[in-house]
A and B are shown apart, each in its own frame.
Chain A
Amino acid sequence: MSKIRVVHYINQFFGQIGGEEKADHKPEAREGFVGPGMAFQASFKDKAEIVGTVICGDSYFNENIEAETEELLTMIETFKPDLFIAGPAFNAGRYGMACGSIAATVKEKLGIPALTGMYVENPGVDSFKSKVHIVSTKDSAAGMRDAIKKMAPLALKLALGEPIGSPEEEGYIPTGIRVNFFEEKRGSERAVEMLLKKLKGEEFTTEYPMPDFDRVDPSPAIKDITKATIALVTSGGIVPKGNPDRIESSSASKYAKYDIEGIDDLTAEEYETAHGGYDPVYANKDADRVLPVDVLREFGKEGKIGKLHRYFYTTTGNGTSVANAKKFAAAIAKELVSDGVDAVILTST
């Protein structure tokens, strides 16, 4: 059988172009392996060959995610790869986001297996672990050798379509995707053993971690609130009168974003609620009761806050309908970050 054709993605640093000062390096493609690619190639022996390497600066990628993903995809495709490897990115956040994003896109769009590697706390892990296999690595490039030792065999398995074992066996971060398999012992026996361990205070591993309770560590406090840009987000369904974007009254399938530049008060003539889950009379009379634009404007003028963000975000539904809310919030969060918002006041009914 012919060798597996591999394309490798790395950033400007591992591409030996430069450090942070070169983070705006534009994407380029080179034949063969570059930097850490050499160690991968050695590990593949004659089973696979790195036919091309794509390099992009971390900042450049993250500032142009959509356009860059497209451009990189085209570059990668010209090598006609059977397998795609990105990174490893260790604990480098922007590099991790780039690796995850490209690997996931390659897998989806080109339909070939893709793999990346990161430190478990890299923000790229949470964003992409369900979309692409991410090998768990150490937090710095000192763990390169160890990372390649885990990544190379898993990459080959993926390329050959061999069954992938458990996260513990293969060294990847659990994907959150539930996959059936046969255990050695039946469920009741596993239950009895788990109970005995729990009773003795020994460590045990639940087979299904409860999902609703993944906590996010509190973000650090705002040092100087009088300088902060604060955005308003609400699940109380406040919308311009007439609900121009047709936000559903319940189980909303979308959110909307409205410009409040120059608006000091939400009046009954201009704003109302689209929420179908509570008595709308009070919010329709004065939407500031749900979305306190009036007070935040005053606070802005009084210098109590830096300023109120130009847009507010709104949807309906309440706290527990996690499914959609999660989707909206991820999109909202992305915009808030790129708009330089420092803090958010989220109001719910």
Chain B
Amino acid sequence: MVKEIERAGIPVVHICTVVPISQTVGANRIVPAIAIPHPLGDPSQPADKEKEIRRKLIDKALQALSTEISEQTVFE
């Protein structure tokens, strides 16, 4: 999925829980997510805290999209 979009010339950041799979499918910009059933959330946290977590992840994703890379990179 990632590859085809990137092939069309659009940078993709892949936010996913299972980083090795993302690496296998050939994503170039990878941001590790929280957990499989809620990659961008944490139900154990209060709502505002959870939103904050999500904002941080998206910040990281945007930063990844703004970073020049030459090879597969995981933005921890």
Interface residues, chain A, CB within 8 Å of chain B?
A: 126, 212-223, 225, 228, 230, 233, 235-236, 278-283, 285-286, 288-292, 294-296, 298-299, 304-305, 318-320, 322, 325-326, 328-330, 332-334, 336-337, 341-349
Contacts and interface: CB of A to CB of B under 8 A. Distances in A.
A344 B58 contact: no
B8 A320 contact: no
Interface of B: 1-18, 21-22, 24-29, 33, 36-41, 43, 50-51, 54-55, 57-59, 61-62, 65-73
Given A225-B62, A305-B62, A233 B21 contact: no
Closest 3 CB pairs of A and B: A289-B41, A329-B4, A333-B8
Q: Which of A223, A279, A319, A329 has the most CB of B within 10 A?
A: A319
A344 B12 contact: yes
Given A225-B65, A348-B22, A296 B6 contact: no
Q: Which of A126, A222, A304, A322 has the most CB of B within 10 A?
A: A222
Contacts of A236: 39
Given A320-B21, A344-B13, A347-B16, A325 B1 contact: yes
Nearest to B73: A218
B68 A221 contact: yes
Contact of B40 (A214, A230, A289): A289
A145 B29 CA distance: 42
Contacts of B37: 278-283, 349
Contacts of B9: 219, 337
Contacts of A304: 59, 62
Contact of B71 (A218, A286, A320, A348): A218
Nearest to B63: A225
Given A292-B54, A336-B8, A343-B13, A282 B61 contact: no
A326 B1 contact: yes
B66 A215 contact: no
Contacts of B72: 215, 218
B40 to A, nearest CB: 5
Nearest to B71: A218
